[in-house]
Every structure is written in C-alpha cells, then in structure tokens.
Amino acid sequence: MLAKELISDVIPPLKTSDSGQKALYWMDIFRISHLPIVNNQDFLGLISDKDIYDNNMAEEPIGNHSLSLFSPHVFYDQHIYEVIELVSRLNLTVVPVLDRNNHYMGSITMIDLLHYFADLSALKQPGGLIVLELNNNDYSLSQIAQIIESNDAKILSLYVNTHTNSMKMEVTIKVNRKELTSIIQTFDRYNYIIKASFMDEDDLDNWYESRYESFMKYLSI
C-alpha cells in the first residue's frame, strides 16, 4: 500500500493567518498533537501544540511568529511502512503527504495507520493465533507455511518480532482455523517452541487488546 491510499480528507491544514487557538481547537477535536501549515498548495511545515504553548501564541495568527517549523513528510508514492517508520521515529500524530512537486495532498493520522494495521493483521477475520519462539537462524517461512497447510489451514497474516541484543525472535501467525490442536502438534514434532496459542474468542480479544496497546505505545501516543 502507498501513502496516497491512506490520505485522510478529515484533517484540515492550517493557514498562516489562523490563530494558535484555532489550531489547538482542531487538535483537540481530532485528538492529534500536530497540524500541517499550508500556503496555497505549498507545505510550510508542522506545528505542534507544544510550539503554541511554548511561544504563548494562542491568540495571535501563527504567521506572526518566527517558528522553527520542522517539515517531516512523505511523498504520495512511498510505501506505508515508511510512514510508520517516520511516525515512530519523530513521535508524530499526523504525517503530511506531498506530490513530487512538493504540493500538499493531505495527511495520514495514527488512526489511519491503526486501521491499516488491523487489516494487515487480519484481525477482523475469524481464526486462531499461534506464537512461535525460535532462533533467528532457524526461521524458515516455507517450513512454517508447509506445516500449517499440511493441516488443511491457511496463513491469514504473519509477522516477526525480533529482540534487541538477542538471537531469539517471535513469529505470530494468524490462521483461518480456530481449532489449532493438530497444527500445534505438528510444530511440536518439528521441535518448534510454542510460546502461546489462542483459539477462544475471549482470549483472542484480550490478545488483540494487548497488541493494540503495544502498537499505540509504538506510535508514541
């Protein structure tokens, strides 16, 4: 997926004639901490609620102040993973999207990214979850897929979580079956470590909630 496909038409850009109070009001309404400033089609930078408070500029037009605006952005044809990386690295709540002429096209919010993450992880589709723990050198996607498909199941989503200063990784797999016993037994025969498995709907909901909280922390909300 490309950045242009997640552009929100809800978040309005600011003009330099808008007041800091207006910016804070919009930030509160949309539950964000940043807003883009745009002059016609030209992207000038992002302003944060901290900028407004630090400069005591709530009642004045934001253009009256010489702000050292930073201007993180992505281009419309960049992959959505690059958007997520930028959000995480700079603790952004909004990412401006530009065309190749540096014209502002719109913004992507963390809520947009969360919905994308939910679709990417097949959270809405019925099935079960298996979490494997293994050494980095032992990871084989083809073998994992073969084990699951040999039990008449399909992988709906799979992602890998590596640990800093460790040779271990976690592989989280969503499959299209809630009954996982035969799949788990096959992984056992291949000497895989099953760190966790979730077949019950309540257990899945709890797991999704914990992953949601982790993802929101990852995005630095």
Find the CATH number of the domain harbouring 96. Answer: 3.10.580.10
- pLDDT by residue (tens digit) across 93-143? 999 999 999 999 999 998 888 777 766 655 667 788 899 999 999 999 999
What's the whole-number mean pLDDT along residues 62-88? 82
Identify whether the C-beta of residue 98 lies closer than 8 Å to the C-beta of residue 104: yes
- Are both 37 and 105 inside the same structural domain? yes
Sheet holding 193-198, edge to edge: 155-162, 168-175, 128-135, 193-198
Confidence grade of residue 210 (pLDDT, cut at 50, 70, 90): low
Q: Is the pLDDT of residue 31 over 60?
A: yes
∠ Cα 207 212 213 (to 5°): 100
SS3 159: strand
Confidence grade of residue 22 (pLDDT, cut at 50, 70, 90): very high
**How confident is the model at residue 14, as a pLDDT?**
92
Burial 33-72 (b: 16+ CB within 10 A, else e): bbbbbbeeeebbbbbbbebbeebebeeeebbeeebeeeee
- Are both 86 and 178 inside the same structural domain? no
**How confident is the model at residue 218, as a pLDDT?**
55
The rounded mean pLDDT for the chain is 84
- Are both 190 and 134 inside the same structural domain? yes
- Are both 10 and 101 inside the same structural domain? yes
**How confident is the model at residue 21, as a pLDDT?**
92
- Are both 97 and 133 inside the same structural domain? no
The domain of 80 spans: 3-117
- Are both 90 and 150 inside the same structural domain? no
Q: Is the pLDDT of residue 61 over 60?
A: yes
Percent of the chain residues topping a pLDDT of 70: 85
Query: Is there a domain that residue 111 lies in?
Result: yes
SS3 221: coil
- Are both 113 and 149 inside the same structural domain? no
The more confidently predicted of residues 48 and 119 is 48
Query: Is there a domain that residue 174 lies in?
Result: yes
- Are both 142 and 107 inside the same structural domain? no
Phi/psi of residue 13, nearest 5 degrees: -80, 155
Into how many domains does the chain fold?
Answer: 2
Query: Is there a domain that residue 210 lies in?
Result: no
- Are both 156 and 90 inside the same structural domain? no
Q: Is the pLDDT of residue 65 over 60?
A: yes
- Are both 113 and 44 inside the same structural domain? yes
Confidence grade of residue 160 (pLDDT, cut at 50, 70, 90): confident
- Are both 32 and 106 inside the same structural domain? yes
Identify whether the C-beta of residue 199 lies closer than 8 Å to the C-beta of residue 179: yes
